[in-house]
Amino acid sequence: MFGFPISTPRPRKDYASCSGCGLCLLVCPVWRRSRDIGLAPLGRAKALQHGAVAADIAESIQSCTLCAACEPACPEDIGLVAMTLDLRRQLIQPAAVPSLRARMDEQAARPLAPRPSSSAVLLPGQALREHPGTLARAAALLGGMSNIPIADDDGSDIALALEAGVETPAQRLQQFLQPLRGLKNVAVADGLLLRHLRQWLPGSKIASLGLALSSLAQVRRALRASDLYVIEPRAYHADYQRLVKHYDALRSDAGCTLNLDLQRIAIPASARSLAQRLEPETAADIRDDSVQARWILQGRNVERIVVENLEDSAAFERVSKLPVVHLADLADDGTS
């Protein structure tokens, strides 16, 4: 169903290989906001090389947004996201974690989700579920003649646990993966969950929702040369070398502008810390998102913003009056 090749994840180096070149700073949203090297990969690597343990650099570990922009920037090919996640697992967990564990236990107690009726499934995640019209349009586009099934259990709790460095109980993980085993195609909106699904389901094609939708001819036709197309960075950077080609072709076909800079690394429009993801109601403000969205818009003459990830919509709406449309809603966009 998904007409594009998928590459296999490969092993990467660890912090011991950091040369201190500083290239990761150029793309890191946390460094751009704070100008504090200690909060960037360079600072974490140097601290660990000099004997620090996770607790010594807890603020740095927790502030990372896991956007993964630093990975393709790193000439030493260090697995910076996996290392941050590993360090998070070594920390005393934030206060919100018990409720996250309870959510996973509650989910594990539910009956196994039925196996999808087709060879493909969509895992929409929380943000897309909150926009049922967009979700329905995404499912219709991906399904072709009939809607692609939407998974009842999309692993949102597991995605959040991964982000927080909390171990997912084996029973819960098994319950989530069982209906997905053997499927040919899985489209997933959460870029961090995508990284793990590629390891958990090696026989399936796992694609980000953005990649799956932007591969469709009818979606590409609806893009305009005056659009700013905003790539979801977590999934893009997880498969950067191959996806550079996909998005080059998209830009060439549509003539649109992309949120790419500095060797075609995707600039994240949202810059959510772990606290903002775990406790969005009580966490500190989200000025970071505005800084990032302004950076992306700077010097670009565009008339519409098209996002792969609904979390990015609010960031652009705060800093611009341009219409912001999700990829799945392009055909129904009334701004023509």
Map residue 55 onto helix, strand or coil.
helix
Q: How far is the CB of 265 from ligand SF4 (least distance, A)?
A: 9
Q: How far is the CB of 52 from ligand SF4 (least distance, A)?
A: 15
Q: How far is the CB of 234 from ligand SF4 (least distance, A)?
A: 9
> Phi then psi for 188, rounded to 5 degrees?
-130, 135
Specify the DSSP element, H or E, that contains 188. Answer: strand 185-188
User: Which chain residues interact with ligand SF4 by CB under 6 A?
Assistant: 18-24, 27-30, 40-42, 45, 64-70, 73-74, 76, 78, 80-81
- Residue 15 or 316: the one with the smaller Cβ distance to ligand SF4 is 15
- Residue 11 or 111: the one with the smaller Cβ distance to ligand SF4 is 11
- Residue 86 or 333: the one with the smaller Cβ distance to ligand SF4 is 86
Specify the DSSP element, H or E, that contains 132. Answer: helix 132-143
Distance separating alpha carbons of residues 67 and 268, to the nearest angstrom: 7
- Residue 33 or 251: the one with the smaller Cβ distance to ligand SF4 is 33
Q: How far, in whole angstroms, is CA 190 from its chain's centroid?
A: 5
Q: CB within 8 A of 200, min separation 6: which ones?
A: 173, 177
- Residue 128, both tokens: 């897309």
Distance separating alpha carbons of residues 108 and 187, to the nearest angstrom: 22
Q: How far is the CB of 155 from ligand SF4 (least distance, A)?
A: 21
- Residue 27 or 173: the one with the smaller Cβ distance to ligand SF4 is 27
Q: Using an 8 Å Cβ cutoff, are 328 and 124 in contact?
A: no
- What secondary structure, in 3-state letters, does 136-183 show? HHHHHHHHCCCCCCECCCCCHHHHHHHHHCCCCCHHHHHHHHHHHCCC
- Residue 124 or 268: the one with the smaller Cβ distance to ligand SF4 is 268
Distance separating alpha carbons of residues 308 and 180, to the nearest angstrom: 23
Give the pairing type, strands 265-266 and 304-307: unpaired
Q: Using an 8 Å Cβ cutoff, are 25 and 42 in contact?
A: yes
Q: How far is the CB of 53 from ligand SF4 (least distance, A)?
A: 18
- Residue 74 or 297: the one with the smaller Cβ distance to ligand SF4 is 74
Q: How far is the CB of 91 from ligand SF4 (least distance, A)?
A: 15
- Residue 66 or 183: the one with the smaller Cβ distance to ligand SF4 is 66
Distance separating alpha carbons of residues 182 and 46, to the nearest angstrom: 43
Map residue 184 onto helix, strand or coil.
coil
Q: How far is the CB of 28 from ligand SF4 (least distance, A)?
A: 3
Give the pairing type, strands 324-326 and 304-307: parallel
- Which residue in the block uniquely carries the two structure tokens 């196994």? 112
Q: How far is the CB of 40 from ligand SF4 (least distance, A)?
A: 6
- Residue 19 or 90: the one with the smaller Cβ distance to ligand SF4 is 19
Q: How far is the CB of 138 from ligand SF4 (least distance, A)?
A: 26
